[in-house]
Amino acid sequence: MGDLRLVELSATTIVAVNNFSLKPGQEEFLSPVSYGIAATVVNPQTSWQRVVVDGDEVVGFVSANFDPDFPQEHFRSVLWRINVDADEQGRGVGRFAVDGLLDEARSRGMDHVNVIYEAGSGGPEKFFERVGFTPVGETEYGEVIAEIRL
């Protein structure tokens, strides 16, 4: 692994993130229904995003929502989206991004972080388990709700 860093989004890095490629079969796991519904009520002021850069190359993206007042418990401290460019997957970028997110959650006084994902091969289930998320429930759409206690 090179010199990974988390940096704020800029006009240039947003373009790089939007041009990330996916491995075959990953598309269908990108946006569980629950996130689409919650997105309509998320307050932009409670969202947090960072890009992962390796030297001067943009290799990953992670975002979260931190809002203790959000109606649904599992959206109060939640990993919203994580993406690693297809060519950069499998070398620790995703774990680095999650570690940064956990640091951010701790610094905001959160005692846990949730993630919601669809189980199935080609999806992020194994990754989330490897980096420490434990399934704790299910949404009404059959997605897994998992959690890391801080």
Question: Total binding residues for ligand COA by CB under 6 A?
Answer: 21
Binders of ligand COA in range 38-67 (CB under 6 A): none
36 binds ligand COA (CB under 6 A): no
Is residue 29 a contact residue for ligand COA (CB under 6 A)?
Answer: yes
Instruction: Annotate each residue in 66-95 with x if it binds ligand COA (CB under 6 A) or - if it does not, as one string.
Output: ---------------xxxx----xxxxxxx
Of the candidates 107, 125, 104, the residue with the CA atom closest to the CA atom of residue 115:
125
The residue ranges that bind ligand COA (CB under 6 A) are 22, 26, 29-30, 81-84, 89-95, 117, 124, 126-127, 130-131
